[in-house]
Amino acid sequence: REVAEISIKDIDQIGKSSFPLCMRHLFEKLREDHHLKHGGRMQLGLFLKGVGLKLEDALAFWKAEFSQRVGSERFDKEYAYSIRHNYGREGKRTDYTPYSCQKIITSAPGVGDHHGCPYRHFSEENLRAALGKMGISNRAVEDVMDKVRNRHYQLACTLTFEAVHGTSCDAGINHPNQYFSDSQKVLQS
Ligand code: SF4
């Protein structure tokens, strides 16, 4: 059974179990800083839309964080529009699709940005620490680092998926939302 919708109250728990590392990182930073720059808001926001967070919930979710930093008035004025925009409710009314791994890996996060692919954009030290927090074995971490050194970032993510879920992922990871739905399939089977 695929998850058709997720609610805000489940999001932390479901994030820990089923978000790929790129989204876990953005999610943690948002909770920590109550803020994300534009690139991070787009990458995480469209991903969350893809996993089934409804517009009303998305607005409440982002507002709860951002208003701690910039106040709720400024959130309504400066940030709510772009969230509605992502959902195709503003501007050209395009229903924007979540970013693929390819797009994320080739993005160029600058100083203070948290978007991008950790396998591509983290330092070795930070990546090892992040993988450690996901609770995967030292042996698996070494296998992942080996793929990273050879610039096979999606294979590194696939190995992480396999280590976290204790099952093989033959198709490989090519989209964060695919990581999520494959994870949910494993956890619900
Ligand atoms: Fe995210 Fe894809 Fe990188 Fe995995 S390989 S962390 S899903 S961008």
Atom of ligand 1 nearest to the CA of 117: 3
**pLDDT reading at 3 higher than 60:** no
Residue 4's pLDDT band (cuts 50, 70, 90): low
Pair of tokens at residue 35:
């803020």
ipTM of the complex in this document = 0.99
- Closest residue by CA, ligand 1 atom 2: 101
- Summarised one tens digit per residue, pLDDT across range 108-138 is 999 999 999 999 999 999 999 999 999 999 9
Q: What is the pLDDT of residues 35-88, one digit of tens each?
A: 999 999 999 999 999 999 999 999 999 999 999 999 999 999 999 999 999 998
22: pLDDT strictly greater than 80: yes
Question: Which residue's CA lies nearest to atom 7 of ligand 1?
Answer: 176
Q: Does ligand 1 come within 6 angstroms of the Cβ of 98? A: no
CB atoms within 10 A of CB 97: 12
Q: Indicate the helix (H) or strand (E) that contains 1.
A: none
Do the Cβ atoms of 100 and 83 come closer than 8 Å?
Answer: no
Ligand 1 atom having least distance to the Cα of 105: 8
- The pLDDT of residue 71: 95
Cβ pair 55, 89 in contact under 8 A: yes
The domain segmentation of the chain, as residue ranges, is 8-86, 101-188
> The tokens of 147 are what?
């793929």
How far the first Cα of the chain sits from its last, in Å, is 8
Phi first, then psi: give them for residue 77, nearest 5 degrees. -75, -40
Q: What is the pLDDT of residues 128-179, one digit of tens each?
A: 999 999 999 999 999 999 999 999 999 999 999 999 999 999 999 999 999 9
CB burial of residue 28 (10 Å; 0-12, 13-18, 19+): middle
Ligand 1 within 6 A of 153 CB? yes
Task: Give the distance (Å) from ligand 1 centre to CA of residue 106.
Answer: 11
Ligand 1, atom 3, residue with closest C-alpha: 117
Residue 7: what pLDDT?
A: 86
pLDDT above 90 covers what percent of the chain? Answer: 88
Per-residue confidence (pLDDT) for residue 1, from 0 to 100: 40
Q: Whose CA is nearest to atom 6 of ligand 1?
A: 22
